[in-house]
Amino acid sequence: MSQQSALAIFGEVLFDCFPDGERKLGGAPFNVAWHLQAFGDSPVFISRVGDDESGQQIRNAMQNWQLSTEGLQTDNKHPTGEVQVTLQGSEPSYDIRADRAYDFIQTAELPGLRNDAIVYHGSLALRNAVSRDAFEFLTRPKSVSIFMDVNLRSPWWSKEDIYKCLELAKWCKLNQLELNELGFNSADLQQDMTRMQTHFQLEQLIVTRGEEGGIVRCNDGTFYEQKRVAAEQLVDTVGAGDAFSAMYIHGLLAGWPVQKILLNAQQFASKVIGLRGAVSEDPAFYSEFT
């Protein structure tokens, strides 16, 4: 890893705790970073863990995966992130614990980035002013390109805060329900996407629609659609959106055309829903995509 990274993933890392007692590494930014490392994109993951057993497990897992720990801070006041996952069939709901280490990412401990870096972030990690200040410092250079992954988790978001983030983003990915919750909720999806993209001057607006697949609007007004790719097996949908985002970023870095990015993102998301949790520790899982 060079001192100045070209790809940074900023935000939460935590353990997803399932009803049967199983604990899986998670957090949307962590999942994205994990996948991108498997794809060979060498991201720097910027987060904060507690000075506790869970934090050490995360650090060990990253080292074993050869995912840089340069941006992983340690907090001796706040515990590592944790989410209680409840499943209704295969659909998850989340109880996200407050005041966790990732809420207190310190500006003074941030790694260096190239001025032309791509920075991915979700919305959850900006719920606390400390981490929000760190993110704002990290993305101060106007030449930094921001990929925003909207993750609306009540009660940890407000429309005003999301709008402020969107004004800085180059690319934005969200699902159709989130598009509606942000106020773009007419009966015409393409019209809603056009309104949102032009309002925030996004280069690409990416909307996932579950069974209906994904749709992208580019800033030249062109729409691209990709139907859902059937999954070989369904265990749970935890992390499917993160898998989609990771492959989308990988495609942007590789310079793929939008239609190819969409297809590969759908294929990879469909494979991830065959896992319990969001990531695989088996490199062979990624082989067909690398």
Cα distance between residue 211 and residue 206, in whole Å: 15
- Bridge partners (DSSP) of residue 216 are 206, 224
- Which residue range is the domain that position 84 belongs to? 5-286
- pLDDT tens digits, one per residue of 44-70: 999 999 999 999 999 999 999 999 999
Q: The domain that contains 30 carries what CATH number?
A: 3.40.1190.20
Among the listed residues 37, 94, 100, 103, the one whose alpha carbon sits nearest the alpha carbon of residue 70 = 37
Q: Within 10 Å of residue 225's Cβ, how many Cβ atoms?
A: 14
Helices of type H across the chain = 28-38, 53-64, 129-138, 159-166, 176-181, 189-200, 240-254, 258-272
Q: What is the β-pairing status of strands 91-96 and 5-10?
A: unpaired
| Angle at 125 (CA atoms; ends 88, 204), nearest 5 degrees | 85
SS3 at position 148 = strand
- The pLDDT value recorded for residue 234 is 73
Comparison of pLDDT for 48 and 4, the residue scoring more: 48
Give percent of the chain with pLDDT exceeding 90.
76
Is residue 1 predicted with pLDDT exceeding 50?
Answer: no
- pLDDT tens digits, one per residue of 226-276: 998 777 777 667 678 999 999 999 999 999 999 999 999 999 999 988 787
Our count of domains for the chain comes to: 1
Going through 56-213 in order, the beta strands assigned E by DSSP cover 72-75, 81-88, 91-96, 113-122, 145-149, 171-175, 204-208
| Structure token pair of residue 215 | 């749709």
- pLDDT tens digits, one per residue of 68-95: 999 999 999 999 999 988 878 767 788 8
Mean pLDDT along residues 170-175: 97
- pLDDT tens digits, one per residue of 160-169: 999 999 999 9
Is residue 28 predicted with pLDDT exceeding 70?
Answer: yes
pTM of the model: 0.94
